[in-house]
Amino acid sequence: MAEHVPVLLDRILELFAPALADRAAVLVDATVGLGGHADALLAAHPGLRLVGLDRDPDALDRARARLARHGDRAHLVHAVYDRLPEVLTDLGLSRVDGVLFDLGVSSMQLDRADRGFAYARDAPLDMRMDPTTGPTAADVLNTYPAAELTRILRDYGEERFAARIARAIVAERERAPFDRSERLVRLLYATVPAPSRRTGGHPAKRTFQALRIEVNGELDILRGALPAALDALAVGGRIVVESYHSLEDRTVKQSFAALARSRTPEGLPVELPGHGPQLRLLTRGAEKAGAAEIERNPRASSVRLRAAERIGEATT
């Protein structure tokens, strides 16, 4: 397995430093993965206590080994990140000083052929981030009607040929159910028009992305998790989100923007108490990785980073 390289690590350390330095702070790594970001944050801030969440038991085992040198300062929980409020309640925490999301599929999941995330190698069509529960990509392919397949390919994969691919899947599964990725990739090569294959990247990329998002409920979970994470931030606390496709980034942008605006009605000469912005945006738009980092770590090529600081409490 290739060495795990955390994306935009230096920038993340820089963004969190004002909220974590020289104090007994708490940070939630909502997608702890292999623990690369968590390890660096704990090393940089001796007073930091970190709560790491991940839905993948294998990733948690690897993160636990990596973070063992920090002792009881790292507390890892097998949970999807929309369970953040429940996890914090169980730990007796009402507010935290930082929240980190590194979204999407991890390098470990891509490197493990048996997980079925990568279209470049034949593997079982699984794609579950938590392989202990829930439907697989094969279940989606073999049971969803054409209209529903079209919807997820169009909405989650931004696939131009969604309806054509969905019809081909439904016709092909009548011959035999889908169970392995190589057969799906062959179908996609045969279905996506040749000019698009030449200019639009690998013809399986968008379909595999859409299936992964559907299997893991990624966007629905993110839409619920972001408000919960923002609500958990103490004043002065910071949130950093790394997204890897436009649907995630759009969700993050909208969640941040909603709390960075004043709610005082237009035309009033002064800000109404309790109606000011709750967030201060720390990035101008979405930040991207530089050429040097992308050369070292190709996964960084699609990252979009946004960050914000809590500056006011929510009001009822």
Token pair 């708490």: residue: 26
CATH 3.40.50.150 for the 9-108+218-310 domain, yes or no: yes
CB atoms within 10 A of CB 29: 28
Q: Please indicate if the annotation marks 285 as binding a ligand.
A: no
Q: Please indicate if the annotation marks 119 as binding a ligand.
A: no
Q: Please indicate if the annotation marks 109 as binding a ligand.
A: yes
pLDDT by position in tens, the chain (length 316): 345 679 999 999 999 999 999 899 999 999 999 999 999 999 999 999 999 999 999 999 999 999 999 999 999 999 999 999 999 999 999 999 999 999 976 555 555 555 667 777 899 999 998 888 889 999 999 999 999 999 999 999 999 999 999 999 999 999 999 999 999 999 999 999 887 766 667 888 899 999 999 999 999 999 999 999 999 999 999 999 999 989 999 999 999 999 998 766 776 766 676 667 899 999 999 999 999 999 998 889 999 999 999 998 765 4
Using CA atoms, how far residue 153 sits from 150, 195, 247, in Å, is 5, 19, 13
CB 56 within 8 A of CB 109: yes
Q: Please indicate if the annotation marks 111 as binding a ligand.
A: no
Q: Please indicate if the annotation marks 249 as binding a ligand.
A: no
Give the tens place of pLDDT for each residue, 208-244.
Answer: 999 999 999 999 999 999 999 999 999 999 999 999 9
DSSP string, 190-248: HHS-HHHHHHSS-TTHHHHHHHHHHHHTHHHHHHHHHHHHHHHEEEEEEEEEEESSHHH
Q: Please indicate if the annotation marks 254 as binding a ligand.
A: no
Give 307's contacts (C-beta < 8 A, 6+ positions apart).
Answer: 15, 238, 239, 240, 241, 281, 282, 283
Sketch the domain layout of the chain as residue ranges: 9-108+218-310, 116-216
Q: Please indicate if the annotation marks 209 as binding a ligand.
A: no
**CATH of 116-216 among 2.20.25.90, 1.10.150.170, 3.40.50.720, 3.60.120.10:** 1.10.150.170
Instruction: Give the single-character DSSP code of 40.
Output: H
pTM for this prediction: 0.89
Give the tens place of pLDDT for each residue, 124-178.
Answer: 999 998 888 889 999 999 999 999 999 999 999 999 999 999 999 999 999 999 9
